[in-house]
Structure formats: C-alpha cells, structure tokens
C-alpha cells in the first residue's frame, strides 16, 4: 500500500506515486494534480497543493532514491 494522508482542513487525499511524486485528489470533485515533494505542480487539473502535506508524503521517496556513496 502506498503512503497517503488526508488533509485535515480540505479533505484532499495526498498519495505517494511509484515514481516518487505526490498525487493530490479532491474527493468532492474528483479533480487530481501531481506535485513534487516541494508542492511544485507537475500535471493535472489541481494546480495547488499544501507544501507541508506534499513534503511529508513525498520526502520519504526522496530519501530512499538518493544514491549511496561507494566505499
């Protein structure tokens, strides 16, 4: 199951995608948008995401994909 969180004020669902981006869905309208972990818009109808929520959901993917130093 992918990492996800529901925004406590808007009800928008923030879900981590397989490619490390954050998909935001408005359950009332069905509108979606895709953002990076700094809430920068990538694609979709929704053009705004909460920076804190996008960061919380998306940062785990950034840490896991960071290259490991060779020793």
Residue pLDDT, tens place only, 5-50: 999 999 999 999 999 999 999 999 999 999 999 999 999 999 999 9
Q: What is the pTM of this model?
A: 0.81
Q: Are 40 and 55 in contact, with CB atoms under 8 Å apart?
A: no
What's the angle, vertex CA 7, arms to CA 40 and CA 61, rounded to 5? 50
Maximum CA extent, the chain: 51
Q: Residue 27 corresponds to which tokens in the numbers above?
A: 């359950």
């Amino acid at each position: 199951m992918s990492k996800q969180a529901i925004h406590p004020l808007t009800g928008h669902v923030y879900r981590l995608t397989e490619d490390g981006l954050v998909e935001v869905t408005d359950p009332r309208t069905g509108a979606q948008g895709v953002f990076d972990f700094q809430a920068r818009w990538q694609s979709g109808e929704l053009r705004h995401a909460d920076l804190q929520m996008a960061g919380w959901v998306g940062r785990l993917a950034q840490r896991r994909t960071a290259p490991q130093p060779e020793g």
